[in-house]
Amino acid sequence: MKLHPILAALRKHKAGTVLIALQIALTLAIVCNAVFIIGQRVERVNRPTGIDESNLFLISQQWVGAPSGDTADGVEKLDAMQKEDLVALRNLPDVVSVAPINSLPLLNSSWTGALSLKPDEKNVGTRTAYYFGDEQVLPTLGLKLVAGRAFNAGDVQHQGARDQRDPATVMVSKAVADKLFPQASATGSAVGKAIYLNGSGKPSTIVGVVERMQTPGTGSWASAFAWNSTLVPTRMDANFSRYAVRTKPGRLDAAMRAATPALYAVNPLRVLDEESIQSFAEIRDKAYRADVGMAALMGVVCLILIGVTAAGIVGLTSFWVGQRHRQIGVRRALGARKVDILHYFQLENLLIAGVGAVIGVLLAISLNLLLIRQFEMERLPLAYVLTGVVAVLALGQAAVFAPARRASNVPPVTATRAA
Amino acid sequence: MFSYYLDLAVRSLKRSPGLTALMVLAIGFGVAASMTTWSVFRAVSGDPIPWKSSKLFVPQIDVWGPQGRSSDGEPPNAMAYPDAMVLMRDHRAKLQSAMYQISPSVVPAQAGRHPLNVSGHAVYSEFFPMLDVPFLYGSGWNASDDTQRTAVVVISSKLNQKLFAGANSVGKTLNIESKDYRVVGVLDNWNPQPRYYDVVNSGGFSATGEDVFLPFERAIEVGMSNDGNTNCNAVPAESGFVGLQHSNCVWIAYMAQLDDAAAVTAYRNYLDGYAHAQQQAGRFGWAVNNRLRDLPAFLDNQHVVPSDTKVSLLVAIGLLLVCLVNTVGLLLAKFLRRSGEIGVRRALGAPRSAIYAQFLTEAGIIGAAGGVLGLLLTGVGVACVGWVLPKSIATLARLDLPLLALTLLVAVVATLLAGLYPTSRAARVQPAWQLKSN
């Protein structure tokens, strides 16, 4: 089929042609970026934390009238109180293991610092989040040990939460081990090495490496070191404490209900309300709520856009078909087959959508550049744009099919009738 | 004449119900998406204290030097204790307060009730007049309570409701962290969003209000530790909360009221002078790098409005634009299909302005219908916001009269604009051609 008659006809419908092309261009630009945002958020939400998230919950409680964590005597008393709580929780029937801990992945309450291979290096090193726990931390969180050994009871120390002390032993995530010892061929070679925490002059020895453990921070500031976790075998003593609890399979709710009375029985003078006890599923839900919401919003916008654009093409093409009713009849009477008429409208739409898609690609890239500059978005991969182009061309063809079919069914006899 | 055009428009719209529904749906969805995201944006980007924000300033002092600065050369956004104390002592602003976030326990006086946790701030007496904090009963404490470290407390109306059944509790006693405090004031509903007086620790937005305010130096004296961010460029030399107070770690928010440009300049000079003195004393080994931003500038600098909110608004406006382009196309088709009718009207003496009036009436009706649909969908959208956004932000998005009015207005004005081009094309129809071809 020749393009010339189509182009000549389009010249008579400049406004409509421009409007459809513009609509397709804008749709392509927005949908590409929106789908890219959805893809990024879905990827973010689906990142495994490295811990076994099922059957796990967290207790965050605060003692009333607790001794000060600033004095040596107070720290000992607080530690005794914490140990009493741990015993009570470990004795619960549905509980498998309990570990005192300062935070969990995705909890957004973090303790961060830097690790280096040399002593007394200030403000440099590998950024990391610290997890303080005891010898139960690995089984409780379900972390996977890939080299070395887990903490044993002999490693575990305790200290006031604001005291600065260098632990003799630490465990690190594989991400940290790879960053600190990039030349090492095997992860295991990090084991036994000395590292210095937060510019300290005293070394800490790496005794084990876990495969993966996400840091507590979910904000953009934390994304640069999201997998750099360091485990320290220390119970932190303050007027508050957190306990990670692993329950028997299917007994999460029962164990969560049993925890409050058990702790009140140990000591009623504490703050322990419904917000103090949360399952890991709740923590995850809260951490990613904004991301899921953004993805949902972008999804809704895309659906509306595609619907509106498709409907717009149907509407305008239908109008053209109605307007050219007589001309179609003339062509049919002069020997054009039904399929020729069908192809005419399909090709016409392909041309308009093609021009729209070219403009749309430029708009999509400009919009992406704007988002990069203003909102620290990432660069839109070409695959998204190309998929988008194919998608809008397909959308145009799908939308034009019904009106084009109607056009092809115009009988040749129309030509002989007055309009 | 208007009622005649109205009648004509309704007839015309009824003749092609599919096309009409399509335009109304497009306008409705486009407007609703924009208005829903706008309601969220409006809620988070609003000025929390519009009558005074230009007089409230946040000083920043560079205690860490070049190595501790962020990539854009900004000094820390909070203050170290020693600096905050000097600024409070020198008292160079009209009103000022250092503050830090606390999260103490409160033991209800009633027997059998479990202790509860409350959030709040340790502040100076000038905090209340500086921020125009509204009181239901009583008032804040005075400057002598600051220096004498009196055990007094200002509580929220919510906590007053919980512990004193809403009665005037001024003069009553409250057990905070096992020590008795005398209630001197009960706040009226006060939960400004963003929590502008301490953005550093609140991260901007917080679903629940603050329940207690204690004198700063009292809280320090009893060792009530800070709850929130503590940022250090070096490990504190001493341990404990006291060690934190002696360190260069930043954890204190600071706000000062400066009424005019002269006061701002004087305060800026004072801050620079302080940094110079610290340089001389050997504490700061770098050039002066202070900041003194007013509240709107500080909130902007701290990126308090989440970027997701802005991106959503941008995308929703894009959607509205596509819906409008769509409407222009469909109206064009619809109007030009009636070229014959227009030709007859023009031939019978109708001026172009009459054609404009007729077709813009039709566009206006579509806009109004789209606006009504948009209202319903905006209602649904705002209700669903809680489902997709964090609680602290979702609770701020409200459906109020200005939003409803704006929704209708945007729908009608946008559709009229979209109708302008098709109408001008309709008005340019040549009567002779139309009559001839018929």
Of A272, A290, A301, the CB nearest to B319: A301
Specify whether B245 is located in the same domain as B172.
yes
Specify whether B246 is located in the same domain as B323.
no
Query: For chain B, how many structural domains are there in total?
Result: 2
Specify whether A340 is located in the same domain as A256.
no
Dist. CA A311–CA A10, nearest whole Å: 20
**Final residue of a domain: which of B289, B315, B342?**
B289
Of A122, A319, A375, the CB nearest to B333: A319
The alpha helices in A142-233, defined as continuous H runs, are 174-180
Residues B276-299 pLDDT 10s: 999 999 888 888 999 999 999 999
**From A161, which residue of chain B is nearest by alpha-carbon distance?**
B240
| pLDDT for residue A419 is more than 70 | no
The one-letter code for the residue type at A170 is V
**From A33, which residue of chain B is nearest by alpha-carbon distance?**
B315
8 Å CB contact of B319 and A293: no
Specify whether A318 is located in the same domain as A254.
no
The answer to whether residue B55 sits within a structural domain is: no
| pLDDT for residue A298 is more than 80 | yes
Specify whether B227 is located in the same domain as B134.
yes
Mean pLDDT of A140-166: 91
Dist. CA B13–CA B334, nearest whole Å: 9
Phi and psi at residue B385, to the nearest 5°: -60, -40
Specify whether A252 is located in the same domain as A158.
yes
Of A22, A199, A271, the CB nearest to B115: A271
8 Å CB contact of B334 and A272: no
Q: Which of A26-40, A178-192, B111-125, B224-238 has the lowest mean pLDDT?
A: A178-192
CA distance A136 to chain B (A): 27
Dist. CA B175–CA B172, nearest whole Å: 10
Q: Is the link from the previous residue into B17 a cis peptide, with omega within 30 of 0?
A: no
**Helix count (H) and strand count (E) of chain A?**
10, 14
What would the two tokens of residue A56 be? 């796990």
What would the two tokens of residue A319 be? 């109008």
Residues A4-62 pLDDT 10s: 878 887 887 788 889 999 999 999 999 999 999 999 999 999 999 999 999 999 999 99
Q: Out of A188-202, B75-89, B186-200, B336-350, give the one with best mean pLDDT.
A: B75-89
8 Å CB contact of B388 and A296: yes
8 Å CB contact of A198 and B235: yes
Specify whether A85 is located in the same domain as A209.
yes
pLDDT band at B437 (very low <50, low <70, confident <90, very high): low
* Per-residue pLDDT, A243: 97
* Per-residue pLDDT, A199: 84
Specify whether A239 is located in the same domain as A105.
yes
* Per-residue pLDDT, A321: 86
Bridge partners of B56?
A: B257
Specify whether B14 is located in the same domain as B104.
no
In this complex, how many residue pairs, one in chain A and one in chain B, have their CB atoms less than 8 Å apart? Answer: 174
The answer to whether residue A53 sits within a structural domain is: no
The answer to whether residue B217 sits within a structural domain is: yes
Domain holding A247, by residue range, is: 65-268
Show which of residues 183-212 on chain A sit within 8 Å of chain B, judged by CB atoms: 198-200
Question: Who's near B265: CB < 8 A, 6+ residues apart?
Answer: none
The one-letter code for the residue type at B263 is A
Specify whether B272 is located in the same domain as B374.
no
Residues in chain A within 8 Å Cβ distance of B311: 37, 294, 371, 375, 377
Residues in chain A within 8 Å Cβ distance of B328: 19
| pLDDT for residue A99 is more than 90 | yes
Mean pLDDT of B225-233: 86
* Per-residue pLDDT, A374: 85
Specify whether A227 is located in the same domain as A256.
yes
Whether B37 and B279 have beta carbons less than 8 Å apart is answered as no
Quickly tell me which residue has 């609003």 as its tokens: B46
Specify whether B313 is located in the same domain as B282.
no
Residue A418 contacts B where some CB pair is shorter than 8 Å: no
8 Å CB contact of A319 and B334: yes
Query: For chain A, how many structural domains are there in total?
Result: 2
Specify whether B255 is located in the same domain as B329.
no
CA distance A261 to chain B (A): 12
Of A62, A65, A374, the CB nearest to B178: A65
8 Å CB contact of B388 and A371: no
Q: Model ipTM? A: 0.85
| pLDDT for residue B412 is more than 90 | yes
Which of B344, B332, B363, B324 has its CA nearest to residue B426?
B332
**Final residue of a domain: which of B289, B321, B347?**
B289
Which of A145, A137, A126 has its CA nearest to residue A228?
A126
**Final residue of a domain: which of B263, B289, B315?**
B289
Specify whether A103 is located in the same domain as A174.
yes
* Per-residue pLDDT, A322: 83
Of A34, A292, A322, the CB nearest to B337: A322
Of B29, B68, B240, the CB nearest to A304: B29
Show which of residues 327-366 on chain A sit within 8 Å of chain B, judged by CB atoms: none
In whole numbers, what is the pLDDT of chain B averaged over residues? 90
Quickly tell me which residue has 């409780």 as its tokens: A140
Specify whether A203 is located in the same domain as A296.
no
Specify whether B275 is located in the same domain as B336.
no
Specify whether A297 is located in the same domain as A264.
no
Specify whether B342 is located in the same domain as B219.
no
| pLDDT for residue B267 is more than 70 | yes
Mean pLDDT of B128-139: 95
pLDDT band at A418 (very low <50, low <70, confident <90, very high): low
Phi and psi at residue B255, to the nearest 5°: -140, 145
Whether A251 and A94 have beta carbons less than 8 Å apart is answered as yes
The one-letter code for the residue type at A310 is A
The answer to whether residue B225 sits within a structural domain is: yes
Residue A216 contacts B where some CB pair is shorter than 8 Å: no
Residues in chain A within 8 Å Cβ distance of B336: 319, 323
Mean pLDDT of A121-143: 90
The answer to whether residue A60 sits within a structural domain is: no
| pLDDT for residue B204 is more than 80 | no
The answer to whether residue B54 sits within a structural domain is: no
The answer to whether residue A282 sits within a structural domain is: no
The answer to whether residue B56 sits within a structural domain is: no
Dist. CA A182–CA A373, nearest whole Å: 33
B197 Rama sector, left if φ>0, alpha if ψ -120 to 50, beta otherwise: alpha
Specify whether A306 is located in the same domain as A191.
no
Specify whether A24 is located in the same domain as A172.
no
The answer to whether residue A103 sits within a structural domain is: yes
The answer to whether residue A278 sits within a structural domain is: no
Whether B84 and B216 have beta carbons less than 8 Å apart is answered as no
Residues A397-406 pLDDT 10s: 999 999 999 9
Better-predicted residue by pLDDT, A275 or A140: A140
* Per-residue pLDDT, A187: 63
Helix axis angle, A72-90 to A252-266, nearest 10°: 140
* Per-residue pLDDT, B128: 96
Specify whether A83 is located in the same domain as A232.
yes
* Per-residue pLDDT, A162: 82
8 Å CB contact of A308 and B388: no
Domain holding B114, by residue range, is: 62-289
What would the two tokens of residue A221 be? 């500031």
Specify whether B99 is located in the same domain as B248.
yes
**Helix count (H) and strand count (E) of chain B?**
17, 13
Dist. CA A36–CA A34, nearest whole Å: 5
Residues in chain A within 8 Å Cβ distance of B225: 69, 162, 238-239
Specify whether B253 is located in the same domain as B214.
yes
| pLDDT for residue B125 is more than 80 | yes
Q: Tell me B231's DSSP state.
A: B
Specify whether B380 is located in the same domain as B273.
no
Whether A81 and A65 have beta carbons less than 8 Å apart is answered as no
Bridge partners of A173?
A: A210
Residue A142 contacts B where some CB pair is shorter than 8 Å: no
